[in-house]
Amino acid sequence: MGSLLGGHDTCVVMPTGGGKSLCYQLPAVMLGRTAVVVSPLIALMQDQSAQLAQMGIPAGVLNSSLANEKQAQVMRQASQGNFRLLYLSPERLARADTISWLQSVPIAFFAIDEAHCISEWGHEFRPEYRQLSRLRAHFPDRPIAAFTASATKRVRHDILHQLQLRDPHKYIASFHRSNLRYLVKECEGGEQPSLLLRTLRNYQDRSVIVYAPTIAKVKETVDFLEHQQISAIGYHGKMEAAERRNNQERWMSDEVRVLVGTIAFGLGINKASVRAVVHLALPKSIEQYYQEAGRAGRDGQPADCILLWQKRDAALLAYFADQILDPAEKERAWQRYHAIRRFADSRGCRHRQICLHFGENPKWETCGACDACGCESEWLVKSVFIKARQPQPAVAMPAAAAPKTAILEVDSELRDYLREWRRAAAKQQGVPAFVVMHDSSLDEVCRKRPGSIPELLGITGFGEYKAKLYGEQIFAALERFRGGARAEALPETKPRHIRPASGL
């Protein structure tokens, strides 16, 4: 933050949930000019803009989803300096007319989010990010800041080169997420459905993400779980945008606890209380796995990252790598394949392997928080194929992974009631529920039960603007709860066509 305030180019590598957005949002507010944020997803831009609006910070979004009249309005407001933050897609920034228009905007600096997308060695390379190298030529006196959660040394060097950063200040946080427990298991035969059920029943009433490798697998898994009386919804790139948005919001609002998605789900997702992330196939790279698994436990509480892979996953990754025609791209794909395969096959410390992959050399040899270091659950190790249609009893999590006492002290009925109020408030304003109040803030409200604005300001996530916006509504909801009001039961998702368990 100090580097941007001082006008320096900057490169920040910080784990998912580490606060990267704050690193450019706060300087933009303090400088009183416009920070131009390049972001790869329309939904991510809209969510961040909505969050800033809830804090009274003017922010604009310019992308292809807006009507021409709205785009023209945003451009006029930006030229007048009305925004502290302005979100653009890399495709929009590549247009010649965008560059000429930006010359009229009082720009403080450029922030490049998901900067690993600019590198061909990155796991999410996007060619349009290469156009960002033009920023230095057109805005030579404006600082440029690059932000990413998952970049190896090679990718970091490529980011600096592509963006032409000048003597940048570098901030590389540790890749060790000590609150996460990594559990990796190779599944035999039809074992995976049984293990998935055991896993999900271990997190009853907790939010879980399940990553599936294909759209077909997403649909099969959702149907399978619903048949097992586990309410779940899907998310994939071929869904209509409105359906994707609705499903994501239902999960974010805790209407449904389990979301099954492809890699299309997750970028910019800001839900702090995810207790487990389950992968049903080998990801294509360690970077991808680290980023997706890292969506668990963003509240700092213990959470599990469970990889249930099969030999055929590796065969499929190898097949796709072999189909690549460009020699350099093929080499990169094979390097990613060998790295993720070593991670899955190795009996070495999982946390240490991840740190070493990203160029960090930890002083410790064992972590006590992965299957290789003796932290594997008995229900996962000693699994025996069972008929998936038979409900299995929940198995208590080991003490090492149990949530901290602070979470357990929250009155579950009050939490449900405030979530119901939050859903209604979010729907009324047309914003995601987490924009109204994060899960961690909601739990703190449950514990402290504030009765005045000063008391509400003492809760993480509430500034003066948000406290004024929602304070009286929250106090009223707490008073109704004291008077006996309780949350209404949410309707369960109705099972659709049911595929047999073997199809999973």
> pLDDT per position in the chain (504 positions), as tens?
789 999 999 999 998 777 888 999 999 999 999 999 999 888 788 888 988 998 999 999 998 888 999 999 999 999 999 999 999 999 898 888 999 999 999 999 999 999 999 998 887 888 889 989 999 999 999 999 999 988 999 999 999 999 999 999 999 999 999 999 999 999 988 899 999 999 999 888 789 999 999 999 999 999 999 999 999 999 998 999 889 888 988 898 888 999 999 988 876 677 888 999 999 999 999 999 999 999 999 888 899 999 999 999 999 999 999 999 999 999 999 999 999 999 999 999 999 999 999 999 998 889 999 999 987 666 565 433 333 433 333 333 333 333 343 344 789 899 999 999 999 998 888 888 888 998 889 999 999 999 999 999 999 889 999 999 999 999 999 999 999 999 987 655 444 444 444 446
Residue 349 CA to residue 360 CA, distance in Å, equals: 14
* Beta strand pairing call for 180-186 and 169-172: unpaired
The residue whose two tokens read 């949002």 is 25
Coil vs helix vs strand at 11: strand
Q: What is the pLDDT of residue 237?
A: 86
Judge whether 442 and 419 are in contact, CB under 8 Å. yes
In this structure, is the dihedral angle defined by the CA atoms of residues 62, 116, 94 and 127, taken in order, positive or negative? negative
Q: Which domains does the chain possess?
A: 2-172 (3.40.50.300), 180-402 (3.40.50.300), 408-482 (1.10.150.80)
Coil vs helix vs strand at 264: coil
In this structure, is the dihedral angle defined by the CA atoms of residues 115, 119, 123 and 127, taken in order, positive or negative? positive
Structure tokens at 255: 């209407």
pLDDT digits (tens, 9 = 90+) for 455-477: 999 998 899 999 999 999 999 99
Judge whether 7 and 89 are in contact, CB under 8 Å. no
Q: What is the pLDDT of residue 16?
A: 74
Q: Against a cut of 0.75, is the pTM above it? A: yes
The Cβ-side half-sphere exposure at 269, using a 13 Å CA radius, reads: 30
The Cβ-side half-sphere exposure at 57, using a 13 Å CA radius, reads: 23
Structure tokens at 18: 């580490």
State the DSSP code for 211. E
Q: What is the pLDDT of residue 496?
A: 46
Q: What is the pLDDT of residue 380?
A: 62
Angle (nearest 5°) at CA 398 between 395 and 401: 115
Residue 305 CA to residue 180 CA, distance in Å, equals: 7
Question: Rounded to the nearest 10 degrees, what angle do helices 327-345 and 286-293 cross at?
Answer: 60
Residue 286 CA to residue 348 CA, distance in Å, equals: 15
Judge whether 175 and 362 are in contact, CB under 8 Å. no
The residue whose two tokens read 């006196």 is 141
Q: What is the pLDDT of residue 377?
A: 61
Residue 497's alpha-carbon distances to 42, 224, 487, in angstroms, are 32, 9, 30
Structure tokens at 320: 């796709």
Coil vs helix vs strand at 259: strand
